[in-house]
Structure 1
Amino acid sequence: MIIGFIGFGKVSKNILNLIKSEDITFITSIENRSEKTVENIKKCEIEILDTFKSVASKSDVIISANSPKNALAVAKEYGKYVKGIYLDLNNISPDTTFEISKHVDNFVDGAIIGKIDSENPILYISGEMADNLLFLNEFIETKKISDNIGDVAILKLLRSCYTKTLSAILIESTEIAKSHYLEDEFFEIMSLTEGEDFRQKSLSRIKNTLNSSQRKSEELEEIIDYFNENELTMVKAALEKLSR
């Protein structure tokens, strides 16, 4: 079996590390990739092809893991060459998911839940072709939600509603604590109710949010666009905070 990646960031790299099998070959391309991405790819045990068109046409499973902003464009450009399963792992709205399904056969909506570089993330999938990916259970806990394209996308957005908004509140609270020279005390009292590892997890969340604020802002924009009939006061505030 051949698994191909379009986009090679932390998600793709961790999948590569988790799926270890002599029966599976991984492929990607460095076509139009940044110098940093090319360097990361060359450090991995993965076959490099000249173009992503070749990657798409030769893969039994193609994984799109780039960014919410590029997900649809990638599907339009390379989806027509895919003969196997097309698995999208980007944090996109159900509307974008439905649009992608128009350009791709054998489409599966997916999400990696858990820390990106975790040793035990969970892969959630939905779509009529999702059963064909349950073999991944041998390497990654894989759960099929339904046959409906978009169900996983909705769950991704709901999770992002919580996590991105919480991250913005953590950043703001920590900034205020620092301004009053009470950062240590703040984390100490929070740990009494939130658990002993609250500080460690919070600082990790804050660092991750600040390092990828643009991508997380794109995800919040997707949430606001899709759930436009719902009250999203906190989500809109979180987007404003991350944008600053």
Structure 2
Amino acid sequence: MIIGFIGFGKVSKTLFNLLDSKDIICITSPEQRSDKTVENIRDSGIEVFESIKEVAAASDILISATSPKSALDVARKYGGYCRGIYLDLNNISQDTTYEISSHTDNLVDGAIIGKIDSDNPILYISGKHADDLLFLNDFIKTKKISSNVGDVAILKMLRSSYTKTLSALLIESSEIAQKYGLEEEFFDILTLTEGENFTQKSLSRIDNTLANSQRKCEELEEIINCFGDCDLIMVRAALEKLNR
């Protein structure tokens, strides 16, 4: 079996390391990739093809893990060359997922919940070909939600709505606490009700959000596009905060 990756950031690199089997060959291409991605590819030892088109055509499973902003463009360019399963792991809306399905056959909608490099990430999948990917449970815990493409996208958006809005609130509250010299005490009193690991998790969440603010903003914009007819006061406020 050949598994191809479009994009080779943290998610793809970690999945490649998890897919440790003599029956699986993993491939990718540095074409149009950033210097950091090219470095990841070189350091990983993954098999390299000259073009993404070649990767798409050769893959039994093609995994798109790029960014919300580029997910649809990637599908437009390369989805038609994929004759196997096209697994999209980007944090995109249901509508974007539906549009991607028009550019490739055999789309499976996916999401990795939890830090990909943690001990217990879970891969959620939906789509009529989702059953064909349940063998991935041998490498990463894999759960099928339904046979409907788009169901995982909705869950991704709902989770992002909660986590990114919460992150923006944590950033704002901790900034105020710092202003008054009470940051440590602020997290101490929250720990009393939120659990003993709350401070560590919160600081990690804040650091991750600040380090990846552009991607987080893209994801919040996807949420607004997905649920634009709903009351999204908190989501819009979080987007405004992160854009600053």
TM over 0.5: yes
How far, CA to CA, are the matches of 1:134 and 1:21 in structure 2?
15
* Cα distance between partner residues in 1 of 2:192 and 2:83: 54
Which amino acid in structure 2 is aligned with residue 205 of structure 1?
A: R
Residue identity opposite 1:193 in structure 2: T
Distance 2:68 2:201 in 1: 25
Q: 2:221 maps to what in 1?
A: 221
State the match for 2:98 in structure 1. Answer: 98
Between the aligned partners of 2:19 and 2:73, the Cα distance in structure 1 is 27
Instruction: Extract unaligned runs of 5+ from structure 1.
Output: none
Q: Does 1:111 align with 2:111?
A: yes
Deviations 1:158-189 (A, max 9, x none): 00010000000000011000000001101111
Counterpart residue number, 2:3: 3
Find the aligned partners of 1:86 and 1:60 in 2 and give their Cα distance. 9
Partner of 2:23: 23
Conservation of the 8 A alpha-carbon contact between 1:91 and 1:111: yes
Asked if 1:84 corresponds to 2:84, the answer is yes
Structure 2, gaps ≥5 residues long: none
Structure 2: distance between partners of 1:36 and 1:80: 27
The aligned residue for residue 123 of structure 1 is 123
Give the conservation status (yes or no) of the 8 Å contact 1:8–1:65. yes
Q: Which residue of 2 aligns with 1:210?
A: 210
Regions of 4+ moved over 2 Å = none
Q: Name the structure 2 match of 1:38.
A: 38
> What residue in structure 2 maps to residue 47 of structure 1?
47
Instruction: Give the C-alpha shift of residue 233 in structure 1.
Output: 0.5
Superposed, 1:227-242 pairs within 5 Å as: 227-242=227-242
Q: 1:7, 1:66 within 8 Å by CA — same for their partners in 2?
A: yes
Contact 2:7/2:37, CA 8 A, preserved across alignment: no
Instruction: Answer yes or no: is the 8 Å Cα contact 1:68–1:92 preserved in 2.
Output: yes
For residues 90 and 33 of structure 2, the distance between their equivalents in structure 1, rounded to whole angstroms, comes to: 18
Instruction: Classify the secondary structure of the residue corresponding to 1:109.
Output: strand
What letter is aligned with 2:107?
F
Task: Give the deviation of 1:49 after TM superposition.
Answer: 0.6
Q: Which residue of 1 aligns with 2:132?
A: 132
What secondary structure sits across from 2:31 in the alignment?
coil
**Identity of matched residues, %:** 70
- 2:44 is paired with a residue whose SS is coil
- Tell me the TM-score normalised to structure 1 length: 0.99
With the length of structure 2 as denominator, give the TM-score of the two structures: 0.99
What is the Cα-based RMSD across aligned positions, in Å? 0.7
**Residue in 2 that maps onto 1:73:** 73
Q: Distance in 2 between matches of 1:118 and 1:11?
A: 11
Q: Secondary structure at the match of 2:175?
A: helix
Number of residues of Structure 1 aligned to a counterpart in Structure 2: 244
Q: Which amino acid aligns with 1:13?
A: K
Report the secondary structure of 1:142's partner residue: strand
CA distance in 2, matches of 1:116, 1:143: 15
| C-alpha displacement of 1:138 | 0.7
Q: After alignment, is 51-60 or 13-22 more displaced?
A: 13-22
